Chain A
Amino acid sequence: MPARPCGPYRPSGTTARSTAIHRRALPLLLIPLSGCSGIQSALDPAGDEAAAIYTLFLVMVAGGALIWLAVVGLLLHAARRREAPWSEKTAGRLIAWGGVAFPVAVLLALLAYAVWLMPAIRPWLAHSAPAARPIEVTGEQFWWRIRYPAAEGMPAFETANELRLPVGARAVFALKAQDVIHSFWIPALGGKMDMIPGRTNTLSLLPTRAGVFRAPCAEFCGASHTLMAFSVVVMEPEDYAAWRRAQAGGNPATGSEGERLFAGHGCAGCHGIRGLTETASLGPDLTFFGQRQTVGAGTLANTAENVARFIRNPDKVKPGAKMPAFDMLPDGDIAAMADYLVGLK
């Protein structure tokens, strides 16, 4: 199987095998195209804005292909041996039409199309809709703080590294940055928008298909920039409402061993778990952590072993991560805390 440049996302760092492509296997080259679907692809839109971008992409590719064919055709035509050369007048006319008028008209049309499409890609007028209270997303080295506003009688709450949205409802985001510039990009849903310290940028997206998508940080932000991503779960509205209700309620104390250790080892100084600890804000909120797709903001699959690995030495998993190592703790303690966190469902 050829390498799939935009194949499915594998959080635990597996690699795709690549094989030499035999000339007779040329049609296989088309197979990577199937890899362009998937959870982090702008070529597999699941939202209105992404669909507009996808259309723009197709139009530009088709336009580019036609122009390329025309140029190559002209080249072949010009290289042909002929009896009498073109008269200077005919050649001049060819240059005027083919070299000036045609490119000006094509560029004018493409530019008009792209500018006309802009309101569909960045529907900023939607921001002023009364229902649109923004979800605040803050980029921090190297994770995402997400604050949901109070809505429909349910209180505001904070979560991290996983965004949940109802399908078919316009979502508005207030984008901020804590330390350096990050960039918010959910390829399946729309274009990207920078997060700049000291500024609030607004972005609006309309998800049209339920599913789980991956959103990488799109602006280099430090050593673990590539390991800074979040998951986006687009859900049916009823499921979303149930999720919201549960989130606001939090994870009440169970009295488990892991929970006791979590409080005892000082984790709660940086991490909040609603219903259990006071909200701390240095690190990601961990309420319902077990529901998340990944640990370490898109770095590893969310399994008890990976969580333990992360707690033992975050810097090894994620260079520069701003969580101290806990490798001085007994393995048993770490495993118990990991089990507890993964069990917060």
Chain B
Amino acid sequence: MIRFATLFDAIDRTTKTNEKLAALVQYFGHSSHADAAWAAYFLCGYKLRQLVPTKLLRIWAAEEANIPSWLFEESYHSVGDLAETLTLIVPPGEMLDDLSLSHWVEQRLMPLRTMEEADQRNAVIAIWQQSPMQVRLVILKLITGAFRVGVSKSIVTRAIAEHAGVSSDVISHRLMGVWKPTASFFEDLISKEVQDTIVSQPFPFCLAHPIDHELGPESIGPAKDFAAEWKWDGIRGQVIRRNEQVFIWSRGEDLMENRWPEIESAAQLLPNGTVLDGEILASLGENQVLPFAKLQKRIGRKTVSNKLLKEVPVVFQAFDLLQDAGEDIRSRPYSERRLRLDRLLSTIDHPSLERTQLLLGTTWDEWAKIRDRSRETNAEGLMLKRLDASYEVGRVRGVWWKWKVSPYTIDAVLIYAQKGHGKRSGLYTDYTFALWEGETLVPFAKAYSGLDDSEIKDVDKFVRQNTRESFGPVRSVAPALVMEIAFEGLQRSPRHKSGIATRFPRIVRWRHDKKPEDANTLAELMDLLPSIE
């Protein structure tokens, strides 16, 4: 366990990819397969199901620290991270012997879930008593399900690949889908022999790079080298048809079962050995795509009622073909894959299975004009795909580009502030912004990011000096600061005071040049609502 905690520290400490990679390779090189499997599992972002209710952990920690619960909460507020607070607040323990990661997880952590509360308490206290700070933090992060560390799955994949002497693409594919963190899984993962494809297994997704708004699309090459299509705001997914079965995967690598019955029934019509890449969209068909807000109604529903099926029909808009008649065609150029996709889907007639429409045009100017109309069709902009490129794993530069429309922007007044958690805990970094409605300021969006460190310090100082009232951790401040807020979309929402919910609001800049009375009005925000709702 000390080795895993040291790995966590080494990754946490640096921002340099090569140092993280080196630490990972070293870890995998010196670990048993069982430990390596669990490490890979956690580093890829998988979690154990909640082991102990956090409410109990807080109570026991306060008891062990001999402090009242309000002081625990104040400490938590200052630290900004629950597992870390639970680590720091209890006097340090002493490690008797260093057991392996897999032993810890399987023998000491997983059994917690089914224990009676009293036994659970004893077990957790024993963990505190037997763990020095560094190890304790990692264990508590695993217990609270908050284990997160600054590595992407692709870095983990590269590290395993380097350790195993197998190519990253192969490891990446083997890490797709559902797997159990066992020694035998890890053995297969790093095996040099080719493994049979698992029927349900999706391919690693190819991801797009954003086009720099300043540089424009000319920066990526001549328009004739690319195909363009709408960039929809839906759920990226792969539809797999193999062995008479259908699997639908989301980009977050969740197998989505019984969630999209209309797509499942459409996929039954595909020949075996087919893998489509595309987007799940709420749509009335024939490119009448509905806003993401509609699709949201179906996200998270394990079963779908008939009423909802009628209200929010979905389609799968395919834009790529990865496996055709059992053949992995990812290394073929996009132009060829797209033709094969067109040929395949032209034989299938189902309202829930569509192809993206390739947008006519051969110059950036023509596409720029089409892109300007994105919002009318509920698109976010255009996708540009290099005709001669193969289907890459992850975010490889130069293959796929997203050319989004500029975000909406509005000038708003900062009225509430709250201390942030995590990286900037202790400073007022979470703000609520408001717009005018007559003489009153109506809150409409919360934004966390966009200011640089020195601006954050300035706002923090302002908040401390201009607090009007405190409601728990939230402070209301004198309406004086105006900031430009950008967001990707908006929809009506009865749950919001303003009646409007915005997507991904963020601060573009601090408008020092504007007084609060120069900020925009709620009516001006309403004007931005989409025409197809």
- Tell whether A and B belong to one assembly: no
| Residues of B near any A CB (own CB < 8 A) | none
| Residues of A near any B CB (own CB < 8 A) | none
